[in-house]
A = this chain, B = another copy of it.
Amino acid sequence: MKTGRLEAFSDGVLAIIITIMVLELKVPEDGTFQALNHLIPKFISYLLSFIYVGIYWNNHHHLFQIVEKVNGKILWANLTLLFFLSLIPFSTAWMGENHFEQNTVAVYGINLFLCAVSFNIVQKAAMDSEGKDSLIAKAIKNYTKEMASTALYLIGIAISFFYPKISLILFFTVAIIWLIPDRRIEKQVKH
């Protein structure tokens, strides 16, 4: 099975996730700037999640550029990833609605963490399927970024019950780490 339709379907789901989040920015009934001010926490949440979904699309794109075939394992790992990503509009809105209250930031962090774990499982399944000499096995040899972001997620979740705003900063930090598309893969594509 080729990767074409899996990529198309994932693109569709990611495009919808990234766009329906804006529906949670409920339109205020009056036209004052104060009414807009109330939306600022929701807007910040939206911005952060938009960046995250953008990063996942990006990395997904990069990953499947060097994966050649899809098997059942990759397929279901990918659907698991899409499932946790599909919960992001919910956890984003809940966090924004409640002005970054502790519980909501914790749940948001857990959601991000589960997305990251799922992505790693997709990557692992792809590496197993492609074999040791494949492009992907050569590309992904160290996991510094993965380990750093896992650590930041876990610290962020733990801290959220005391200083939710510091957690947010940590989650923004993880996003920045991943903003740059995965050079490990780009190098392999060039070879």
Most B CB contacts (10 A, CB to CB) among A33, A50, A87, A104 go to: A104
Shortest CB–CB separation between residue A41 and chain B, in angstroms? 12
Question: Which residues of chain B are near A25, meaning CB under 8 Å?
Answer: 87, 90
Shortest CB–CB separation between residue A60 and chain B, in angstroms? 9
Q: How many copies does the complex hold?
A: 4
Asked if A68 is an interface residue, CB under 8 A from chain B, the answer is: no
A interface secondary structure, majority? helix
Asked if A103 is an interface residue, CB under 8 A from chain B, the answer is: yes
- Measured CB to CB, the nearest residue on chain B to A102 is B31
Shortest CB–CB separation between residue A184 and chain B, in angstroms? 13
Cα A76 to Cα B5 in complex, Å, equals 22
Asked if A117 is an interface residue, CB under 8 A from chain B, the answer is: no
- Is there contact, CB below 8 Å, between A181 and B75? yes
Question: Which residues of chain B are near A102, meaning CB under 8 Å?
Answer: 31
Cα A87 to Cα B22 in complex, Å, equals 7
Cα A7 to Cα B5 in complex, Å, equals 8
Shortest CB–CB separation between residue A47 and chain B, in angstroms? 8
Binding site for B on A (CB under 8 A): 1, 5, 7-9, 11-20, 22-25, 27-33, 36, 47, 50, 54, 57-58, 61-62, 65, 72, 75-76, 79, 82-83, 86-87, 89-90, 93-94, 97-98, 101-104, 107, 179-181, 186, 189
Beyond known contacts A15-B15, A28-B94: 20 more, CB 8 A cutoff:
A1-B186, A8-B8, A9-B14, A9-B61, A11-B12, A12-B12, A12-B14, A12-B16, A17-B19, A18-B82, A18-B86, A19-B20, A22-B87, A24-B27, A25-B90, A31-B102, A36-B107, A50-B79, A50-B86, A75-B181
